[in-house]
Chains A and B, each alone.
Chain A
Amino acid sequence: MIPFFPFLIALREEGIEVSLGEWLTFLTALVNGSVSPRLSSLYAVGRALLVKSETLYDRYDRAFLRAFSRLASGEDARALLEQWLKSGPPEWQSFVHDLTRDGDGFLEFLDRLRQHLSPPPSPPNTTEPTPAVDQLGISSGALGGFQRAYKLASERRFRAYDQDRILDTAGMRSALARWRCSDQKGTVPVLDLKQTLESAARNGGEIELKFRYSLKRRRILLLTDVGGTMNVHHQLVERFLTSLRREIRRVDHYYFHNTIYEYLYRDAERRFRISTEDLIRRFSATHTLVLVGDATMGLQELLYPHAAIEGDNEIPSTTLLSLMATHFPRAVWLNPEPVARWSSVPSVQIIAQYLPMYPLTIPGILAALNTLLKGNDPKTSFLPKGSF
């Protein structure tokens, strides 16, 4: 078979997980005529077969460039293509000749690709049209130069979020839907006679047994941190709240600043207070407690009385946190800060000792769900080992 192996290696090095099946399809495509003997065709078809998300298009470009531009070094990409062309039908043989004298614009093509990968710095205000399709028919990684730079930037931002998928509302909703579905787990199904009769009537007398799950609706008590350092996360938190409200009907929502003190607030502007004691009295242990906050603050604010940045506290926050953790057996803290930063923030480490902490990402939400179902499992902890 054609030695396109370096390309596969380059793809995997870029983090594109090409499966064996996909790779075989690609190799088949090379010889059965779906790829025409042009480098641009190899590029386009390879991308359609090996890359299944536009967010990976940039990486594909990089891998392609790397695999086919090792011209200077001993390993010759041209030889690779030559072999491919030679394996093709007889009418391809003329291209072999073209290739050896750069007739196919081989170097030109790679140069163009290289240009796409390093976008010229363009001021963000210009509406100068960026050509998306050049003469070689290579669209610039699906996006124009400026947008591509933006895309790269956004990709980097999403890398900061623990390399998780972008937290789009849809993804978050499907993760939260699993929270809702988890209501059914562990309950005993009961035969639903009414439903069974109805479906039998609708189905021409064919009996289909319908079961009902005695649903104990999961109620959520949600406390979110607002203001201060949380402002940078407001979009993410907003998306989380929207998704949560859509997926779970009973959500009681209160606000706090930095950490839990004697008072919480009914509104984001923190005008109407409710005492934490009242809150604990009002919400029974059947509620699931979800706290959302970056847990980033000075240690004294957390550990000492009379240290709150707003108002005055008689009781240290840690006492209240432990009170909450004992009152609500199902409690998690979701942190919008990337996990990598946690170990350098002492207040995060302390809070995580009271409440299991998870990143506000899709895997984080799912891991939090696991904790809520099975109790805290140290194996799924996101905190680095041995810290604190």
Chain B
Amino acid sequence: MRFDPSRVPDYIFTEELLEVVEAVLVLERPLLLRGEPGTGKTQLGVALARGLNLPLIFWPIKSTTTARDGLYIYDTIRRLNDARFGDGDVRNIHSYIRFGPLGEALSSPERVVLLIDEIDKAEPEFANDLLYELDAMEFRIEETGETIRAQNRPYVVITSNAERELPEPFLRRCIFHYIPFPAPEVMARIIATHLPDLAPRLVEAALHSFFALRQRPGLRKPPGTAELLDWLRVLVAQGVTPEDLRNGIPYAGVLLKKPEDLELLSRGASPSWSFEAIQSSWEKIRTRS
């Protein structure tokens, strides 16, 4: 199986990432991706499928998702209803078993890419419950006694926000890659692929402000790539010039989502403890009394 990065021009692959992808293809082990929000973990899963020219099965994880949901669901209600109203083939249990995303990936005759998105959203036991299925790439349907076994091991990509520690046995079976926050020049390339018509001077000024903002100590949630792209769109729409960016960050609400962070920013721009401020408030108190 050959991976062709030229098929995904809008995802920037680093050399190192390509080496890791190569190892995933040969070893056929799940690839676990971690990184700050907005570093393109999910995008990488999608890009992998496109680069390999394979169908993608997307399995977004929620707090209520269980491993069994991913394999199959035995729809008892529908079967009961069919029995009452005389619809469907009630005797055939197979027609009441629906595959979940993992079940679909394992039963697919052709090779697929399975993207398990945000695995840490589920209960802590979730990852452990998947161990056997991901290892052996097979599962048993209890109701029929059938065993479904993958003819071609699917490539599994798992993303995690490190919201929860994943269990050791699970980690041992994965190939791990940490997606670093893009360096300024990588970020410039990312911007160029998404917003190709931007004036280079504006991009440069915006990047400068953006990375300076990210390095500010005490920031609770540093802005990510998605926020930066949104912000650039706003800047263009509002006709902000590179010079404007020198005196602070306009439309900071696009970049910073926490009230505390916005407060921190405004404190930095115009110190509320300036001599004038204290004096004026003192004046106010004096005139009142």
* Residue in chain B with minimal CB distance to A165: B165
Assuming A34-B26, A57-B178, A137-B16, is B77 touching A174 (CB within 8 A)?
no
Tell me if A127 and B211 are in contact (CB < 8 A). Answer: yes
Q: Which of B173-219 contact A (CB under 8 A)?
A: 173-178, 180-186, 208, 211-212, 215
Q: Which residues of B contact A32 (CB under 8 A)?
A: 26-27
Assuming A29-B27, A127-B211, is B185 touching A54 (CB within 8 A)?
no
Assuming A48-B176, A52-B174, A165-B165, is B27 touching A139 (CB within 8 A)?
no
* Residue in chain A with minimal CB distance to B177: A48
Asked whether any CB of chain B lies closer than 8 Å to the CB of A292, the reply is no
Q: Which of A25-39 contact B (CB under 8 A)?
A: 25, 28-29, 32-36
Q: Which of A152-183 contact B (CB under 8 A)?
A: 165, 170-171, 174
Tell me if B22 and A25 are in contact (CB < 8 A). Answer: no
Cα–Cα, bound, A375→B118 (Å): 39
Q: Which residues of A contact B212 (CB under 8 A)?
A: 127
Cα–Cα, bound, A127→B187 (Å): 14
* Residue in chain B with minimal CB distance to A133: B14
Question: Which of A67-75, A112-120, A199-207, A281-289 lies at the interface with chain B?
Answer: A199-207
Q: Which residues of B contact A52 (CB under 8 A)?
A: 32, 171-172, 174, 176
Contact pick for A44, options B20, B25, B173, CB 8 Å:
B20
Q: Which residues of B contact A21 (CB under 8 A)?
A: 172-173
Asked whether any CB of chain B lies closer than 8 Å to the CB of A251, the reply is no
Asked whether any CB of chain B lies closer than 8 Å to the CB of A309, the reply is no
Q: Which of A326-370 contact B (CB under 8 A)?
A: none
Cβ distance B211 to chain A, nearest Cβ, rounded Å: 5
Cα–Cα, bound, A32→B24 (Å): 12
Tally chain B residues at the interface, Cβ within 8 Å.
41
Number of A-B contacts (CB under 8 A): 110
Q: Which residues of A contact B163 (CB under 8 A)?
A: 170
Asked whether any CB of chain B lies closer than 8 Å to the CB of A144, the reply is yes
Cα–Cα, bound, A204→B74 (Å): 11
Q: Which residues of B contact A131 (CB under 8 A)?
A: 183, 185
Cα–Cα, bound, A185→B67 (Å): 26
Tell me if A138 and B77 are in contact (CB < 8 A). Answer: no
Asked whether any CB of chain A lies closer than 8 Å to the CB of B80, the reply is yes
Asked whether any CB of chain B lies closer than 8 Å to the CB of A191, the reply is no
Cβ distance B92 to chain A, nearest Cβ, rounded Å: 16
A interface with B by C-beta (< 8 Å): 19, 21-22, 25, 28-29, 32-36, 40-41, 44-45, 48-49, 51-54, 57, 124, 127, 129-133, 136-139, 142-144, 146, 165, 170-171, 174, 202-206
A-B contact pairs, 9 of them (CB 8 A): A25-B29, A29-B26, A33-B26, A45-B22, A54-B34, A131-B185, A132-B182, A139-B14, A146-B215
Extra pairs beyond A131-B185, A139-B180 (7, CB < 8 Å): A36-B19, A41-B19, A48-B20, A133-B183, A138-B15, A174-B165, A204-B77
